[in-house]
Amino acid sequence: MSKQSVEEIKDESNYLRGSLPEQLASPVDHFDDDAKQLLKFHGVYQQEDRDSRKERKKQNLGPAYIMMARSRVPGGKLTPEQWLAHDELCDKFANGTFRLTSRQGIQFHGIVKSNLKALIKGLNDSLVSTLAACGDVERNIMCCPAPIRDNPVRDQMQQLTDTLAEHLSPQTPAYHEIWLNGESVIAHHHGEVIEPIYGKHYLPRKFKTAIALPEDNCVDVLTNDLGMVALHKNGQIEGYNIYAGGGMGMTHGMAKTYPRLATPVCFATPDEVIDAATAVVKVQRDYGNREDRKNARLKYTIDRLGQEKFNALVSEYFGRPLPPAHDGGVFGYDNHLGWHQQGDGKWWVGVHVLSGRIADTDRATIRTGLREIIRKYRPSIRITAQQNLLLSDIDPSQRQAIEADLTKNGMGTGRSLSLLVQDTMACVAMPTCGLALAESERALPDILQIVGSEIAKVGLGDADIVLRMTGCPNGCVRPYNSDIGLVGRSPGKYVVFLGGNKLGDALSYQFLDLVPVDQLAAKLHGPLMHYKEHRQEGERFGDFCRRIGKEKMLQIAGESAV
């Protein structure tokens, strides 16, 4: 870790330049610790191949440095040309695969330093940027991806997503200079304001935003720092309920860190919503904790200030009082899998992609199949918050052929998949993520088999249970508001969380700690059986676990308190 704090690195970076240009040109295979922090603002994480660590250590070799680069794709919208550019670039400069994220973006893994600039330039040539896909700024803005055409509500939501993404994007020319051979610009020339929203220190920590509908919270809006729920009537958006302070990250054994769902701040009309969102960002900029990154997210700022004080500050930064959020919350969810009419005579199809990994394996030739379909039929593309893919603008005459191509390449569209599989997610974890304590993506197929078999064994059939799995407690695929969350604790062992729900408006509780994979079925047997025998009509598993409570569930499982 750098001897300098991240705040000092930002302060001395000259608006995100630092020594990145010099280090990028150096033949050394990695960046130093200070530059590694600045890389994140440019959409890049420096990592290592952890699979090779032991063998390299035996040979007295240092880490096998690799990079992860993330595309920022507001609302998950891509043209066929942009998809094919990602497909081509992963072969040229990455590990031959790419990955759909739980925030509707795309990640490349296994990039060596000497290929990094060429990959980023290739993305920008297709009009896709990596700027602010990571770092202490607004990240990729999420929006319900359903491509319903000629629908004013959907059109306005998508327009807001694009406008807000541009508005909250860093304004420094450093990205263009470093990666795209832009002309160097002196940041302090004549007192020019380079970052009117962020300032030279940017935000205390990362900042995430999502836009949803009350009837379809497919983007998990309440897990975001800033959530906007569109309230509409007669085909028009009347305004947005604005929520703030959501966040999934925590640290094992550190009580001062915790997951939190966003809470109501105010209501804003469509012509107020950009300024209201900016006010939330600026309050976090000025009041967020810059001394302790473990407590730097907006959720901690709100809990430290108090909700009333925070809401008042948002109104103050906005310039006048904002009315309270309207009654009501989210009450629906759709994963958008399968075939749907999109309202203009054409169709979209939601394609399931396990863990979002676009690759060819023995089980499915997903990358090849999608490449062939997209080259031939040129569908528009949307990435979902469940790491799946929507292919849209499909002519009715093409449906049968596309369905056949999907089947041939081992891809499901919903009907052929169990409910457990449809909505499950896993983070990358090993071997690339430096934070991973246990496997996630690579372990997920076995975990699904274990949990799915236990669900069937107790006689629950195809129960609609959402399972999410991460290799560490940072919670990148939102395990803390799912029915079952598995969070990596150590190799082969997980913390089990119960009590979230599909709507995304309830947090789970820690049920059991350090559960080995081979004991997972036994630990879940009692809760699943009790759910089968004592659930109320229409009650989901997570809601049941929350109603019964942790202590009773531990008794049922035959365990002592954690």
Phi, psi of 108 (to 5 degrees): -105, 145
Structure tokens at 478: 């939102």
Active-site residue identified among 77, 433, 468, 540: 433
Distance between CA 355 and CA 388 in Å, rounded? 8
**Which residue, chain included where needed, has tokens 């372990």?**
443
Structure tokens at 392: 């849209």
70 a catalytic residue = yes
Active-site residue identified among 113, 208, 282, 346: 208
Q: Which residues pair with 427 in a beta bridge?
A: none
134 a catalytic residue = no
Is 66 in a helix, a strand, or coil? Answer: strand
144 a catalytic residue = no
What is the amino acid identity at position 115? N
Is 540 in a helix, a strand, or coil? Answer: coil
Contact partners, residue 468, CB within 8 Å, separation at least 6: 424, 425, 426, 477, 478, 479, 482, 484, 485, 486
**Which residue, chain included where needed, has tokens 């940072």?**
474
DSSP states along 401-439: HHHHHHHHTT---STTS-HHHHH-EE---TTT-TT-SS-
Active-site residue identified among 297, 472, 545, 550: 472
Q: Are 211 and 138 in contact (CB under 8 A)?
A: no
Phi, psi of 47 (to 5 degrees): -135, -170
Active-site residue identified among 10, 40, 99, 206: 206
476 a catalytic residue = yes
427 a catalytic residue = yes
Q: Residue 101: in which H helix or E strand, if any?
A: none
What is the amino acid identity at position 86? H
Cβ-in-10-Å burial (0-12, 13-18, 19+) of 192 comes to exposed
**Which residue, chain included where needed, has tokens 């408006």?**
505
Cis peptide upstream of residue 431 (ω within 30 degrees of 0): yes
Active-site residue identified among 427, 478, 540, 545: 427
Structure tokens at 51: 């699979």
Structure tokens at 75: 């609302």
> Among 540, 552, 355, which Cα is nearest to 465's?
540
143 a catalytic residue = no
> Among 215, 83, 261, 228, which Cα is nearest to 158's?
228
What is the amino acid identity at position 280? V
Query: Hey, which bits of 309-408 come out as E strands?
Result: 338-341, 347-351, 357-358, 380-383, 389-394
> Among 365, 396, 391, 389, which Cα is nearest to 379's?
391
Q: How far is CA 303 from CA 255, 297, 298, 533, in A?
A: 14, 10, 9, 39
Q: Would strands 389-394 and 380-383 be described as parallel, antiparallel, or unpaired?
A: antiparallel
Active-site residue identified among 70, 72, 113, 540: 70
Active-site residue identified among 36, 40, 113, 139: 139
Active site residues: 70, 139, 206, 208, 427, 433, 472, 476
